[in-house]
Chains A and B, each alone.
Chain A
Amino acid sequence: METYRDQYVTLFNNGMKVVVLGVSTDADTTLNNWARESSFPNLFASDPDQTVAKLYGSADGKLDTRNVFVIGPDGRIAARMMKFNVLSADAFAELGKDVTATLPPPKGGSH
């Protein structure tokens, strides 16, 4: 989740109107410890029996696949990136674009 953290401001509107939710099979205490040690700004959820991973087609054996879903304010899937490549700057740029597309246009504008 390091890149999510490092690009939190630009890609995720610094968490304004955006909730980044990382989900894995880890215990909530493990996620808490890791988040504290790494200063992750985002939320995590613990899904040890992969109930939610299965619901989202993201269970690969006993671990979760790195699939990312952008859910709009209306609760619908706005974008999905299957097998998200966390080493790809382009993948993160695209994710940021998908997120921005769900946000209301910035107020004021230039006139």
Chain B
Amino acid sequence: MSSILRPRTAGLAAALVAATAAVAVAQQPAPGSAAFAPEVGAMAPDFTLPGATRYGLLQKPVKLSELRGQTVVLAFFPKARTKG
């Protein structure tokens, strides 16, 4: 009996190892995903982006480091005209 079972068990073990490896690969955080978000206490990464308000487009782009001395609430959202 055991001589029949052994190869099967070995096959199952190999499949398990392969499955675990696949899960490990799948769990690698995607670039830009939450795993890369700066932690509390870290310097906020600087950036420069074109800005807009309800009055129009800003002539000068928004540069985060130029807002030093004020609190900045940086709110990412998926799409204009979505509720929230």
Contact = CB atoms under 8 A, between A and B. Distances in A.
Interface of A: 1-4, 12, 17-26, 28-32, 34-36, 38-47, 50-60, 63-80, 82, 84, 86-87, 95, 99, 102-103
B25 interface: no
B48 to A, nearest CB: 9
Given A73-B68, A74-B68, A47 B49 contact: yes
B54 A40 contact: yes
28 contacts: A1-B84, A17-B70, A19-B67, A24-B78, A24-B80, A28-B51, A39-B54, A40-B53, A41-B54, A42-B53, A45-B51, A45-B52, A46-B49, A50-B32, A56-B38, A63-B78, A65-B34, A66-B77, A68-B76, A71-B64, A75-B68, A76-B44, A77-B41, A77-B43, A78-B40, A80-B37, A80-B40, A86-B83
A71 B44 contact: yes
A19 B74 CA distance: 8
Contacts, number: 202
Interface residues of B, number: 46
